[in-house]
Amino acid sequence: MNEIRYHRRTYTMGPTPIQKLERLSEALGGPSIWIKRDDLLGLTAGGNKTRKLEYLVSDAIRQGADTLITCGAVQSNHCRLTLAAAVREGLRCQLVLSKPELGEHDPLASGNHLLFHLMGVEKIELVPADADLQVAMENLSQAAEKEGRKPYIIPLGGSNQIGSLGYMACADEIEQQAMADGTPFDFVVTGTGSGGTQAGLVAGFLARQSNTKVIGINVSGTREGKETQVRDLLYRTAALTGLQGKIPDDAVRCDDQYVGAGYAIPTEEMVEAVKLVARTEGILLDPVYTGKAMAGLIGKIRKGELTREDRVLFLHTGGTPALYTAPQLFLSHQ
């Protein structure tokens, strides 16, 4: 008997749509491009963390937790969605937020920061950019335990083997949609931060023995560092799911050419990509993740790394609330 059991809450009704981006493909003179609209996932304002949280929050509830604790940047999408899941489940939520490396944190900032307050976050601990987020979360957890509460810590980005199950399930969803539409994809392009999205997708395609390759576009860090991080998570996800067979050496591919000066620091290519997709398809990307991921896709087409014959699926991982925190980047008529 198979001993493996997956426990999942459901925060989205049905699969997210896959749309063909004909005008964008035409503007780039490149491959056929489709987009998977994970920005339309359930919970407040959607995005990739919703899939991870379906498994993580289920685990928390099974352990009897009454408080979710997680961490991220001051405009963290993951924190917004963890809080939204907590609200949905009647749990409380505390956040550790790291201050930006450059510039000051604005206590009246819009975007995700506004939503933390709107959705009634219980506590925000603002820590310096170089603080140890894990230690800060454990301190909050111990304080909650002293009050007789049952806290559950969700790691940065929801990226552990439980969270990655959400993107294994997404790979399955993509394969089913591809079967139905007759559109097997050669490549899926996604932004990579904490790595759980990419690791889960790779695990899911390997489990299905699919030929679809995943290209991670770094939003921070080096290629080597990110590949090590994603591969480690892939192995842990494979162990949890009993994924049979060998994981090929080149299963994890990351590209660090589109990060620019660092995490959340804008690049010209990102601004061009966000504008191009808005103006050809009317779809909103974000400046921190999907804008840089799309800049990577465009760069790869221009360099000839993706050709006219390729069928490419861009994963829209969400994040659009952050768009409204950066009007100075996009308020122009050009």
Ligand X SMILES: Cc1ncc(COP(=O)(O)O)c(C=O)c1O
CB of 39 or CB of 175, closer to ligand X: 39
Specify the pairing of strand 151-153 against strand 187-192.
unpaired
Nearest approach, Cβ of residue 250 and ligand X (Å): 19
CB of 8 or CB of 149, closer to ligand X: 8
CB of 237 or CB of 317, closer to ligand X: 317
321 counts as binding ligand X under rule CB under 6 A: no
Nearest approach, Cβ of residue 38 and ligand X (Å): 9
Phi/psi at 277 (5° precision): -70, -35
Choice from 30, 151, 166, 195 touching ligand X (CB under 6 A): 195
Cα first-last separation, the chain: 62
Contacts 24+ apart (CB under 8 A), 141-149: 141/69, 144/67, 144/69, 144/94, 149/66, 149/67, 149/92
Choice from 42, 46, 191, 287 touching ligand X (CB under 6 A): 191
* Catalytic sites, residue numbers: 76
Q: Is 182 exposed, middle or buried (0-12, 13-18, 19+ CB in 10 A)?
A: exposed
Q: Quick one: DSSP state of residue 15?
A: P
Choice from 58, 82, 192, 241 touching ligand X (CB under 6 A): 192
187 counts as binding ligand X under rule CB under 6 A: no
Nearest approach, Cβ of residue 304 and ligand X (Å): 26
Give the C-alpha separation, 73 to 264, whole Å.
9
CB of 34 or CB of 263, closer to ligand X: 263
Residues that bind ligand X (CB under 6 A): 47-48, 77-78, 157, 159, 191-198, 286, 289-290, 317-319
